Amino acid sequence: MSEFDLEKIFSEWNHEAFEGELSLPEIRWNSRLRTSAGRFIPDPSGCVIEVASYLRDELEAEKLIRDTLGHEMIHYWLFVKNLPYGHTPQFHEKMESIGVSRYNPVPKHRPFKHCYECRGCGQRIFVRKRLRLAACAACCNEHADGRYDSRFKLKLLASGEAVLRDQIPLKRSG
């Protein structure tokens, strides 16, 4: 059991910063989240917000958990309003207006800095150093006899804060 009640913190944020507009999504702790403090999983049939369990052991646990939930709630709020829900200018504007800290420390592990995606299979790869010319090993092995094939060149999805903070938002089809 946790002394931190995520639904209660959600409800506080909702009234303080979102005019009570947001309906309660599924909110859960995730003990496997390591490279990020939180995650928003968009799903029209029921969104999910995850908060990394390790935050509970941090010195400023309460503040970090509140900040993380607030951050993910902005993604959720934009999604509900049918707006782009990544780290857009509107996201930053809301973040500043409601007082969510800009940076969320993700201690314990050196964070990944860049996120790449395979053009072929869509697999995401998180790395610390920028890749210059790299392709997805799985796809090259399967479709190109293990040789480099530009069809499976990795595409840079995001760098920096977006990668540190949470997962890159999922792509929606259609």
Q: Which residues from 112-131 bind Zn ion, rule CB under 5 A?
A: 118, 120-121, 123
Residue whose token pair is 């938002």: 169
Considering beta carbons, is residue 3 or 78 the nearer one to Zn ion?
A: 78
Closest by Cα among 9, 16, 33 to 109: 33
- The size of the interface with Zn ion (CB under 5 A), counted in residues, is 8
Contact between 165 and Zn ion per CB under 5 A: yes
Considering beta carbons, is residue 54 or 71 the nearer one to Zn ion?
A: 71
Among 36, 78, 166, 167, binds Zn ion (CB under 5 A): 166
Closest by Cα among 30, 118, 32 to 68: 30
C-alpha separations of 161 from 18, 49, 174 in Å: 24, 19, 27
In the complex, minimum distance from the CB of residue 110 to Zn ion, in angstroms, rounded to a whole number: 19
74: left (phi over 0), alpha (psi -120 to 50) or beta: alpha
Considering beta carbons, is residue 123 or 159 the nearer one to Zn ion?
A: 123
Contact between 136 and Zn ion per CB under 5 A: yes
C-alpha separations of 169 from 120, 130, 138 in Å: 19, 20, 23
Among 6, 78, 80, 139, binds Zn ion (CB under 5 A): 139
Contact between 69 and Zn ion per CB under 5 A: no
Q: Which residues bind Zn ion (CB under 5 A)?
A: 118, 120-121, 123, 136, 139, 165-166
